[in-house]
A = this chain, B = another copy of it.
Amino acid sequence: MTYTINPIGTVQKKDSKIYLEINQDLWAATTHLDLFSHAIVLWWIDGKDTPDIRKTILSKPPKNKSPIPSGVFSCRSPARPNPIGHTIVRIISLDEKNKRIEIDHMDANDETPLIDIKPYLPSSDRIDNAEVAPWFENLEKRYSE
């Protein structure tokens, strides 16, 4: 059994700004997204969508200076069975005319396919005392105090 993903838009990086450009027929699905400060963005890591890369089981995330390989479900490596990227972003503004959402950052390349956007809900998405592997401690915090 396999499942099918249809892109909903693309990442656009233009003039030092970053946008989630949404397919015209799906723009109405952003209704009221302006009432949220942050969103969870799921994207397709298309550069890693090859049968070989998708078979990767262990990875050594270079940015995090892990001394030992981790399973790909224990790190955020782009090489994974289903190459889905997960990034939490700040919503700057919705631009209805151009069908795009301006955001503050995105660790995906220009033209990367978007596959879902969900509002960030502190009630279920914020964890105050999460423990992580030692090599993920002391990473610079993007939004928490």
Contacts and interface: CB of A to CB of B under 8 A. Distances in A.
A32 B74 contact: yes
Interface string A87-123: 1100000000000000000000000010111111111
This chain: copies in complex: 2
B122 A130 contact: yes
Interface residues of A, number: 74
Given A29-B71, A31-B58, A140 B126 contact: no
A56 to B, nearest CB: 8
A29 B81 contact: yes
16 contacts: A6-B54, A8-B82, A29-B73, A33-B71, A33-B74, A35-B132, A36-B131, A88-B125, A121-B132, A122-B132, A122-B141, A123-B140, A123-B141, A123-B144, A124-B142, A127-B144
